[in-house]
Amino acid sequence: MDTLAAYAHKLGGIVQGIEGAEDLYVEAVTGMPQIVIEYNRSAISQYGLTINHVNDVINAAFSGRSAGLVYEGEKRFDLVVRMDKSERTDVTDVQNLLIPTANGTQVPLNMLAKVDIVEGPNQIQRENTKRRIVVGFNARGRDVQSLMEELGSKVDAKIKFPSGYTVEYGGSFKNLEQAKQRLSIAVPLALLMIFFLLYFAFKSVKQGLLIFTAIPLSAIGGIFALYILGLPFSISAGVGFIALFGVAVLNGIVLVAEFNRLKAEGMKDLRRIVLMGTKIRMRPVLMTAFVASLGFLPMAMSHGAGAEVQRPLASVVIGGLLLATFLTLFVLPILYVIFTNAKEVNLNKKGIYSNRKKLQTQEANKSEINVALKTADLKRNVSKVFYNLVNLEEKKILLLKIDSIYASYLEKANLRIQLGESNILEKSTIDYQRLQIGHQLNQLNADIEIEQLHFQYLLNTTTQFIPETKSIIVQLNGQMDKSLLAKHPNLQLLEADIKLAQSMVQLEKSKQNPNLQLALTSGTIYGTGADNKDYNYSTRFNSAQVGVGIPLFTNQRQNVKAAQINTELASNTLQIETQNLENQLDVLVKRYEVQKQIVKELEDQALPNSKLIFETAQKQFVNGDINYLDWAMLVNQSISIQSNYQDAILKLNESAIELTYLLNGN
């Protein structure tokens, strides 16, 4: 919190030096005085007191403690006892609080504990599970966009945050950014709808584009009006541009419709058509422009509450209409003559094909990554089965070794019985031990056979592979860095899902565009045609069709939204899986280090001791220093140590295989 507060004040100092930033506020997170009591346990024990007893006295004195009940009819109230308010005003009151002891004396609290006033945290605010401090200010006499850009550049240049500390800009600036994103969709959509309506009204792309020229002309006037009045671009100004485009196009429709009417009546001279049409429609055009402008004039001149929203919108409409009307009356007739003499243009759409190609490319890439993931999983499983077989073979060797030892001593036991040096108990014990070892060997052979079948299945072969029967420890190469997880096929597969979903979004969006349709036909007729002429196969008839398909009654909007949701889901899945793999890596690294230490200790201490135990037991048993039961116990202990060593190696290898799989993807 101290670091967070320090950087918050640094940020506040930068804000103070920026023009237009007023009413600075830095959220206070420290400065709350607290009384802290640190108990002296030695002193408390000397007086025969306990921590709980001292706490009870302090709580009763300053917070209050129920001492009985007070009845008023059927009502019952707690009778709370505590020190008078005048005795609870200063830290010295706490220090001088008398604590009763078991022998009847009273000891001041300052003899039992250290009582001080320290400065603690005032408040701790969190957002998205992270601590945060608010640095707020108001923008006056300057637009929010340029102010925040200057602030961002100065923060990046003057403050280098440690890892885990970030700056997030919100408030009006965040609302502006979100509104700009919405406008980036709304404005092109509005322009596209205007063009489609123009195309349907005049049945001509040429004339639709002609009237569409009123939009950039009106935009020039709106931008010029904002510049003259010194108003920044805002969301209300953006809405004003949308309204301006509609009115400006309306003037173009009025003029072009009149030009087409005169042309349909038989007038051939284009120059005469535009002059007469402009003269006839000048009054409606001027009336449309001035009515809208005068209607917005009070908003443009307002200075009261809400003026910051009304003025940019009204200024854009008025300035845009004034310039657009002038240019429409002079520029549009000239463009009409140029467009009329030009060839008709057709709508063309090739985006759907390129987007479909991108989608197929992403699908092929995903398939390749999926193959890599399956390969990595196969290598991991093969390695696990291989080292498990090595472990089982090593255990089999240990069991065979101890079985041969018991078999040797069984012969000696029989001889000792014949000589009268032993009884039947020793022989029965050895027989039972050999029986148990036999059961273990049978189970071990079954396990080996099952693992060998599993090994053949993974290798897709009928050949039986038996690993060399000696301990093998997997060695890790390279550093165990989390950055290597980015190359893991599982994460690459999820990234491919994101790219695939993004390609699907682009494909679904391209399906909303007009579609150019081209058809070619070629055929022949044999025999007599309708014109009473004879035709043979050498005479061919060719035709061509060109059309434009405009999607009107489709559910592409829902398809695009669904594809966008799939993109977000894929992105969230990638983040979750990345965090999951990082957690797995942390756990595996710790497990690997622990198991590595266990193997080292077994090699350095346990295995030499196992050998010493076995050799000593053999000598003492032969010399008669120990009986058979002691000898059997020591031998089993020696074999158990060696078996534990093999199990420790297996666990170490399994951790190494999993780490290799995570970091190298194979």
Spell out the SS3 assignment of 281-318: HHHHHHHHHHHHHHHHHHHHCCCCCCHHHHHHHHHHHH
Q: Please name each of the domains of the chain with its CATH number.
A: 1-25+135-169 (no CATH), 30-122 (3.30.2090.10), 175-345 (1.20.1640.10), 355-482+578-664 (1.20.1600.10)
pTM of the predicted model as reported, rounded to 2 decimal places? 0.41
Question: What pLDDT is recorded for position 70?
Answer: 92
Question: What pLDDT is recorded for position 376?
Answer: 83
Assigned token pair, 477:
């190469």
User: Cβ of 461: how many Cβ atoms within 10 Å?
Assistant: 10
Percentage, residues of the chain above pLDDT 70: 86
Assigned token pair, 591:
């497990």
d(CA 237, CA 223): 9
Question: What pLDDT is recorded for position 76?
Answer: 92
Question: What pLDDT is recorded for position 336?
Answer: 81
Range scoring the smallest mean pLDDT among 359-368, 470-479, 635-644: 470-479
Q: Which residues pair with 534 in a beta bridge?
A: 528
pLDDT tens string 125-149? 777 778 888 888 887 767 777 788 8
Question: What pLDDT is recorded for position 233?
Answer: 75
C-alpha angle 453/459/461, rounded to 5°? 70
**Which of 229, 247, 238 shows the shortest CA–CA distance to 288?**
247
pLDDT tens string 24-55? 888 877 777 888 899 999 988 988 889 998 89
pLDDT tens string 426-449? 667 777 777 888 888 888 889 888
Range scoring the smallest mean pLDDT among 285-294, 300-309, 517-526, 577-586: 517-526
pLDDT tens string 57-80? 888 888 888 889 999 888 999 999
pLDDT tens string 374-433? 888 888 888 888 888 888 888 888 888 888 877 777 766 666 666 665 566 666 777 777
